[in-house]
Amino acid sequence: MRLLKSKKGLSVVVTTLIILVVSVLLATVVTFYAINVTTTRVQEESIHLTKQHIWYNTTGSWAEAALVILNTGGRDVVLDKISVRGQECPWTNVYYWRTNTVTVSADLNVTQKQLANMTPSDWQTTFTYLGAGETFTQATTDLTLKSGWTVVVYIANPDSIALNDVGLTVGITVFTSNAQYYVETNVAAAQ
């Protein structure tokens, strides 16, 4: 009976403060755990476009574009489409070479022939990074690019590049499933 009549205990204010501090600490721990899980387990997509060019061959009346795409992110990507000046380039006009062992440091060169007429030895002359037996492949569908890999892309007759476009700035956009990557370059005259 003595226990029931005892008036000793925690005050309402102290009890409320304890409950408040515990709930704030619990929420903080859950938040930090969620941040840790999402940042360590989710790898971001990131590609870098470089060495972009568009040339117009003044003697042959044809154009070509070229660029290097590096996958600098932590995940593999699918290149859904490439557009020049907002116009999608058909995959049959795209020629590519992939590598994970070669760093493409020199600038890209214009080809002396239209891309459809290039032989493996022509590619070796134009693009000196190719090893024995390597050549550019004509694309047929979306391109995959593993994390840490590089792809060099040449595009035959992008958009409707003509003689009057020489000197103008033109945009090249690479689309993946998650993002768009955009660079600009000036159209240069070749030959």
Q: In this predicted structure, what is the pLDDT of residue 39? A: 66
Return d(Cα 109, Cα 20) in angstroms, integer: 67
Q: In this predicted structure, what is the pLDDT of residue 97? A: 95
Q: In this predicted structure, what is the pLDDT of residue 128? A: 85
Q: In this predicted structure, what is the pLDDT of residue 160? A: 84
**Whole-model pTM over 0.95:** no
State the sign of the Cα–Cα–Cα–Cα dihedral 54, 57, 63, 67: negative
Report, as ranges of residue numbers, the positions in the chain whose pLDDT lies below 50: none
Q: In this predicted structure, what is the pLDDT of residue 12? A: 80
Return d(Cα 176, Cα 94) in angstroms, integer: 16
- Report CA 5 to chain centroid distance, whole Å: 74
Q: In this predicted structure, what is the pLDDT of residue 3? A: 56
